[in-house]
């Protein structure tokens, strides 16, 4: 038995499912997960000393690659002054200044400890600000394990959600309206059928938790228009896309400006972090100024702030986005060409440093279409790629990420491995 098998066997006796986040268990793709003992650049080293080119990148944060010296140095400097203060610290102000500078929608920002906290708090704030209860989300968009957002779509264009997890009261889930992504008419009908009840729309502007789905032309603009017309809050969940597709996220690329934005991942430089921000008049409803309560003992932790500031400054000053887009296009085009030559139906949606593999004849525009893809083909490719030193996300419903450390060498190796895996 190798070390990863030994560790997983031991972990299953101590940790539910042997993992601290479900997708790590490889249940979607089958087999036993490997354990990582170190990471550097765009590569992981497993507990069994196998080196893998990494396209998970800590599920998004490692845009500069793993163990970047500037981030490591920033953490070390912060560590020399302590790990946590329980008081405001200078780094929190610097982080806020950076976020207000680069994210178009953010006039004020509140730090928290995870993307889940960020979306949860943004929802509470939207409800408190509008005095309304219902929320619209979209099938296939994941916004963390928030009770009212762990809801999946049923049949029809307008579905009152049923809980997608045990432990969530049906009455709470019923405050969430689940709609198909890329369907403007469904959104308009939801507001028409429930007038003055919907507090907010929350959306991943480029959904990246059921593969990668790109919005149809004009779709995000329509969400902005509908929210404005109905005095509802538009929330962009940019935990994944923020700072990865551009320093200002999707809202910078599209110029569709939400009222609130949830952020995370990259702004922690690999340490736990979250944030939400938006218009001052909305953000000022938060305690201690307003009646909407939100708090966190470790919010604005000095180590996370230091790592995140270093990460953001490199993105702002080095502007790696053209390089990341070129690498992403090179990889996506190569994957498509290989699949075409082998007669394998494959869609590879890609934007910037994000892409995914949909084994499908047709373009995927929503969650239902993502469900209908050939997931067995993905699972087979996943395991064959690991054998050849390439680590894709262990689920066909996840998105691949590229870092600035992925070079032509890694891309060529990945394409060769993919060719051998089909």
Catalytic residues: 142, 237, 265
CA 330, CA 105: separation in Å to the nearest integer? Answer: 32
Tokens of 352: 């910037």
Place of tokens 């790109």: 214
Three-state DSSP class for 152? strand
Helices (H), 132-218: 170-173, 184-193
- The DSSP letter of residue 149 is G
Neighbours of 14 (CB within 10 A): 7
Residues 63 and 311: beta-carbon distance below 8 Å? yes
What are the angstrom distances between the C-alpha of 388 and each of 18, 47, 422? 25, 17, 13
* Beta-carbon contacts of residue 101 (< 8 Å; ≥ 6 apart): none
Place of tokens 């929608």: 105
Residues 136 and 190: beta-carbon distance below 8 Å? yes
CA 202, CA 205: separation in Å to the nearest integer? Answer: 9
Tokens of 71: 């981030």
Tokens of 14: 């101590």
Tokens of 99: 């976020």
Three-state DSSP class for 350? strand
- The DSSP letter of residue 55 is S
* Beta-carbon contacts of residue 237 (< 8 Å; ≥ 6 apart): 115, 119, 141, 143, 202, 203, 204, 205, 262
Q: How far apart are the first and last CA of the chain?
A: 28
């Amino acid at each position: 038995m190798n070390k990863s098998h030994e560790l997983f066997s031991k972990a299953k006796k101590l940790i539910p499912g042997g993992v601290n986040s479900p997708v790590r268990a490889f249940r979607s793709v089958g087999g036993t997960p490997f354990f990582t003992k170190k990471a550097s650049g765009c590569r992981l080293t497993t507990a069994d000393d196998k080196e893998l080119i990494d396209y998970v990148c800590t599920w998004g944060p490692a845009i500069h690659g793993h163990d970047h010296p500037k981030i490591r140095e920033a953490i070390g400097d912060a560590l020399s002054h302590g790990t946590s203060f329980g008081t405001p610290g200078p780094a929190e102000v610097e982080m806020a200044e950076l976020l207000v500078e680069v994210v178009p929608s953010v006039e004020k920002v509140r730090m928290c400890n995870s993307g889940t906290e960020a979306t949860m708090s943004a929802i509470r704030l939207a409800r408190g600000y509008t005095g309304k209860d219902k929320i619209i989300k979209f099938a296939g968009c994941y916004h963390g394990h928030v009770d009212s957002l762990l809801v999946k779509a049923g049949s029809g264009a307008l579905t009152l959600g049923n809980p997608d997890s045990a432990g969530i009261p049906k009455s709470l889930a019923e405050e969430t309206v689940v709609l198909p992504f890329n369907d403007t008419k469904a959104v308009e009908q939801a507001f028409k059928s429930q007038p003055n009840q919907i507090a907010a729309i929350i959306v991943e502007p480029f959904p990246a938790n059921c593969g990668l789905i790109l919005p149809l032309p004009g779709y995000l603009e329509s969400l902005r228009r509908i929210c404005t017309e109905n005095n509802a809050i538009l929330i962009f969940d940019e935990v994944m896309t923020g700072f990865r597709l551009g320093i200002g996220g999707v809202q910078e690329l599209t110029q569709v400006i939400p009222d609130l934005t949830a952020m995370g991942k990259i702004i922690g430089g690999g340490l736990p972090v979250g944030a939400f921000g938006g218009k001052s008049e909305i953000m000022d409803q938060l305690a201690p100024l307003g009646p909407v309560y939100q708090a966190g003992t470790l919010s604005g932790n000095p180590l996370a702030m230091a790592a995140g500031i270093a990460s953001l400054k490199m993105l702002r000053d080095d502007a790696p986005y053209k390089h990341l887009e070129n690498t992403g296009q090179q990889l996506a085009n190569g994957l498509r060409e290989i699949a075409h030559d082998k007669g394998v139906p494959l869609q590879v949606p890609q934007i910037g440093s994000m892409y995914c593999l949909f084994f499908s004849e047709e373009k995927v525009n929503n969650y239902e279409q993502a469900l209908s893809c050939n997931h067995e083909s993905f699972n087979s490719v996943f395991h064959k790629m690991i054998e050849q030193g390439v680590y894709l996300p262990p689920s066909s419903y996840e998105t691949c990420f590229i870092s600035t450390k992925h070079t032509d060498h890694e891309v060529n190796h990945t394409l060769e491995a993919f060719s051998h895996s089909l």
